[in-house]
Every structure is written in C-alpha cells, then in structure tokens.
Amino acid sequence: MLSARAAAASQSHAASLWKRGGGDAGGGSGCTSCMEVRRRAASVAVRAAPPKRVEAVAMESAAETAHSDKEVALTDGAADEDSPPEPEEELPVTPWAFSVASGYTLLRDPHHNKGLAFSEKERDAHYLRGLLPPAVVSQELQVKKIMHDLRQYKVPLQRYVAMMDLQERNERLFYKLLIDNVEELLPVVYTPTVGEACQKYGSIFRRPQGLYVSLRDKGKVLEVLRNWPERNIQVIVVTDGERILGLGDLGCQGMGIPVGKLSLYTALGGVRPSACLPITIDVGTNNEKLLNDEFYIGIRQRRATGEEYHELMEEFMDAVKHIYGEKVLIQFEDFANHNAFDLLAKYSKSHLVFNDDIQGTASVVLAGLLSSLKVVGGTLAEHTYLFLGAGEAGTGIAELIALEISKQTNAPIEECRKKIWLVDSKGLIVNSRKDSLQPFKKSWAHEHEPLTTLLDAVESIKPTVLIGTSGVGRTFTKEVVEAMASFNERPIIFSLSNPTSHSECTAEEAYNWTQGRAVFASGSPFDPVEYNGKTYVPGQSNNAYIFPGFGLGVVISGATRVHEDMLLAASETLAEQATQENFDKGSIFPPFTNIRKISAQIAASVAAKAYELGLATRLPRPRDLEKYAESCMYTPIYRSYR
C-alpha cells in the first residue's frame, strides 16, 4: 500500500512532468491528459515482502520511459539477523510513455535525434541542456566525421556494424551519409558485405530492425503484424532465408537482406523509412552449422515444407493485405527456386508482388544488354545468349530478354526463346532432358545434342553473350573466356553471382583473357583494372539500379499489380542513362552518384506504364511524372523542432 506522502509526491511529480511535456512541441500528435497522467502516476509496482514490511515503488521520470526500479522501503521493525533473507519475487509492471519525446528520450529516438546538431533554442525547448556537449555542429560536419571514422576500419563487417548502429540512433544522418557517399558505402550496407553480416547476424544482432514471423506465430500472424508501430506501409521486403545471395540457407539470419534492401529503397528511391517494413519468415533452417550455433537467433528445427510452409505463407499474405491494403508492394527476396516461382505465380494474381531475384535482376541485366548494343552493335534479336545457371536469376533474365525481343520484332515469344540457351548443373538444357526438368526450365529446352560442360556449350553454340548466374565462383575459366574471344570481336561477359567470392570470373580475368576486348559487368563490385596502359572501370549489374525506382513508381501511381511491361520500361529507361563517357571507361552502366535522378526517371516510366495499362489508382495522373516522383522522394535533411 502506498503512503499518503508517497502518493502526493508521485502525483506532484507527474503534474510537473505534464507541464514540461505538454503541448505539441516536436511535431507530436498531442499529450496525455492531466487526468491520465495522474491515473498513471498512481500506478505502482509492489514487491512481495516479509511480514511486517511494506515497500512502495516511486515513479521514475516520464522522460526516461523505462521500467520503475526505485524503491522506498518503510519498515516497522528490524529483521531477525539470524534468519536467512527471504527471496523477493518481482511482480510484473506495465511500461508506459508520453507521446512527445524530450530530454534523454529524444536523444535515443532514431527518428528524431540530431545529436550535436540540436540548436541552442532546441536544447532549451526540449530539455537537452546539459545532456549534450556545448558544441553545435552542422549535419554536413557530422557526415564528414563519421566518414572519417568509417575509413579507419579495415574490416568491412566493422563498417557494416557501425552503419547499422548509426541507423539505430540517428536515422536521418544515416541516410544523409549513404546518399552523399553512395558509391563508397553501397558495398558496405549491401553486397558484398551484407552476405558476411547475414552469416554472423546472430553475433552482431543488437536491436530488431524488422518483424519476425515464425511457425510459432501460426494462427496469429495478423497480431504479429499489428505489433509494428507504423500503419502506412508502402513497401515490404520479405525473405524466408533459404537462399541468401550465393551463401545458401541462413534461416532467420537472412534478415540482413530485407533491412539492406529497404535502406536502399529510401536512400536511392526516396521511399520514406517509416513506409518500409523488413520481414523474415522463420520456418527453420537446414543449415547444421546454424542449428548448432549457440548464438543463432531463429527456430532450431529443420525447415518446414509442403502444406505447413504454404499455410503460413498464405496466412501472412492475407494478413498483409488485411492491414495494409492491396497497394502495398511485397518484394520476395532470396527464396529458394522451388518456392520462389510458385509464390510469384500464385500471388501475382491477387497481390502487388515483385520478386527481385527473378524480375529485378532480369530488368537490370536487360538494361546492361541494351546498353552494350551501343558498343558492340546489332539488335537483341541478332545476338545469341548462353547462361551458366538456370535458377531464379537465369530463367528470369532469359524470359525478360525474350519478351523484349518479342516486343521489338513482333515475333512469338516461343520463337524468341530459341536465341537463348541455358546450362545447369547437368549440362546444356535440351529437348532430350525435358521430362526430367523442373517446370520453370522446360521453356528453355531446345533441340541440340546433349553437352555436359560449359566449354563444350560455348564452342558448339558460339554465343555472343555469356551470362553467369550459377552462384559458383571461377566457373568462367580461362579456356571458356578465350573461346568467347576467339569468335567475338567484343564478347559480352556478365559475371553476376554474389558475393564477390562466388563471381564466375573477376574483372581482371575477363579483360586479361580477352586482351581488353570484353564488355564486362559483374554482380559484385570490382576495382578498376589496368591493361596495356588503359584503365577499365567495370560496370556493376546491381539490382539497386532498378528496384528502388521501380518501387517508387509503383507507390506514386498507386498500382495494384506488377506487369511485365513495367519491368521492360524500367530496363529501357536505365539503358538510356549510360553515356559514351561511361563506355570509354569500359562501363555499360551510369555511375551511382546520379542514382536518385535515375530512380526518379525509372519511377516516372514505371508509373506511366501503370497508367497506360489501367493498373494505377492514384488519380488524376500528374502532368509531369518525373517531377512528381522527385517531389515525393524522402530527403534526410534535419528538420527544425518547435
């Protein structure tokens, strides 16, 4: 029971807090009423105590919003010194907080914290005086300091952790840093460093950055989604962690991929951070190393399959649509082949879904090929394509190439596919293998004698374009690359597998083995290569060129479905951005320094196609879609607080 003096003191303290926290400072939506504050202040936690002993818990400062843990003990007798102390059992308490952050809480709110950039006026208005050193610095100086600190780290994973820590304490500074230094930091927050981060995610995990939906949540997925604090979600990136980059099954630790992708949606595409939601579907893992790792953060069981898996996915998809509506873009990321194609086919009819591994990769590679034609000449239909790898990426790219050829020539899609050949782990995909092929490979089975090696396929088919999506490093051997160079003046070689260690060949190998004649692009970044006195800057066929702008286009148009023509529009727009200056340096892609401008142009093209196809719901259509896209893009510049 609380004494009258303690209760009065608690209410007096709450009243003073109301006076300090009241009003609308900081852009909040208003504070709790006085009556509510008094009611909360009267709430106390009481510990179980020995007989003749009463304890009361004093309320802490509302600005700190932590659990109450201060005690005022009132006793009317001394404890028996010979008696062992009785254990005290802590009873549950209810945490609560005001809606307007000030003081200590404001400095720990990543959405509103500005660190040393708080002005003198803001420090007085929000009770920050004394909680910060006296210096007031600009956001630009903060960026300069953090870049200086990041460059001191020699290990890429250390830079990744430092960036994630920054995102968790100062969101706007994180995005300002990433936008201003995108070429240097893109490999840190995404490929290749994110791959290592996912492998060690259990060890580096600090604070949750997204939602985890596991098998244990079956039947209550809707409740899990409601736990996310934001309601106006526009883009969701979801993975089940079964095929993370080229690293395989990383289970729950695949969360690094949705987090990384969505940071690029904001930095490169301008989608608001609060409108982005990373989600991991945890159905277990078949990775024995993780199952035996004491730091693993997921369910410790073998991966669920079949009906159990699909029931959870169906419940999840229904829950997303129920809470966020049909205009939320759901991006499937790093699902294994046997689920990726089925999920995309099933939900593309009822949801706004997009698979980046199948469709995003295809779109950026098609853009690279269209750009390459300006160097090697000819049309798409006049070239012959050979893929090493027939999974999500390989078949997705192949299909989009065939669609673009069909669009340009008005030829049936079946005829266009005959220009494209695929090699999987068993060799060239041919008609004689058709009965044993997975459904998504059957379209690529052409009439030809069986061949078991890539070199045999290259020498027999004589492709002008060689594309690697195998996930197996160094499979474009010297013999394979030299064979490509023997019958092509400018062989097009795309080594797309991630991370860098899984790349089919390096940029240096491609240029050296072709005497500098290769038109080369890779999935992971490579340093410039010097050959015969000329410096080549290899292009990176990075999905980040496409998906942020594509997502922005979907959002600003209010599209309800993704159509393949929207992907073609994105590819064609990106291809137009490469200049002769890029080609002279050996790159077929524009520099990332212009990526936000490029994303706005892609968004405008995607939105225009959505309006043309009757899939857009945001009416009336803006007159200038590119300017409208730019006006909708999030900017990380600090705001002034009242």
Strand-strand pairing, 353-355 and 329-332: parallel
DSSP state of 119: -
d(CA 222, CA 204): 29
Pairwise CA distance, residues 343 & 341, whole Å: 6
Sign (positive or negative) of CA dihedral 498, 503, 507, 510:
negative
Collect all residues with Cβ–Cβ distance below 8 Å to 581 and sequence separation of at least 6.
none
Q: How far apart are the first and last CA of the chain?
A: 41
Hey, is 463 helix, strand or coil?
A: coil
Give the chain's largest Cα–Cα span: 99
User: Structure tokens of 93?
Assistant: 């308490």
Structure tokens at 132: 């910060």
Active site residues: 190, 261
Tokens of 32: 């709790």
Pairing of strands 70-75, 53-58: antiparallel
Burial class from Cβ neighbours inside 10 Å (0-12, 13-18, 19+) for residue 70 reads exposed
Q: How far apart are CA 349 and CA 252, in angstroms?
A: 28
Residue 379's closest CA among 357, 424, 349, 411? 411
Q: What tokens does 499 get?
A: 């991370």
Q: Is there a contact between 288 and 248 (Cβ–Cβ < 8 Å)?
A: no
Which residue's entry shows tokens 């290749």?
Answer: 192
Cα→Cα distances 3→8, 129, 183, Å: 9, 34, 63
In which region does residue 425 sit, left (phi positive, over 0), alpha (psi from -120 to 50) or beta (all else)?
alpha
CB 335 within 8 A of CB 239: yes
How buried is 301 (Cβ within 10 angstroms: 0-12 exposed, 13-18 middle, 19+ buried)?
Answer: middle
Burial environment of residue 288 by CB neighbours within 10 A (0 to 12, 13 to 18, 19 or more): exposed
Would you list which residues are annotated within the binding site for a divalent metal cation? 333-334, 357
Which of these, 532, 528, 483, lies nearest to 506 by C-alpha position?
528
Q: Return d(Cα 274, Cα 235) in angstroms, integer.
A: 10
Give the burial class of 148: count Cβ atoms within 10 A of its Cβ; 0-12 exposed, 13-18 middle, 19 or more buried: exposed
**Spatial distance between the Cα atoms of 608 and 598, rounded to a whole number of angstroms:** 15
| Known binding residues for (S)-malate | 243, 498, 542
Angle at 285 between CA 216 and CA 348, to 5 degrees: 75
CA–CA gap between residue 471 and residue 529 (Å, rounded): 23
Name the CA dihedral angle for 198, 214, 295, 356, rounded to a multiple of 10 degrees.
Answer: 0
Phi and psi torsions of 53, nearest 5°: -135, 130
d(CA 147, CA 138): 14
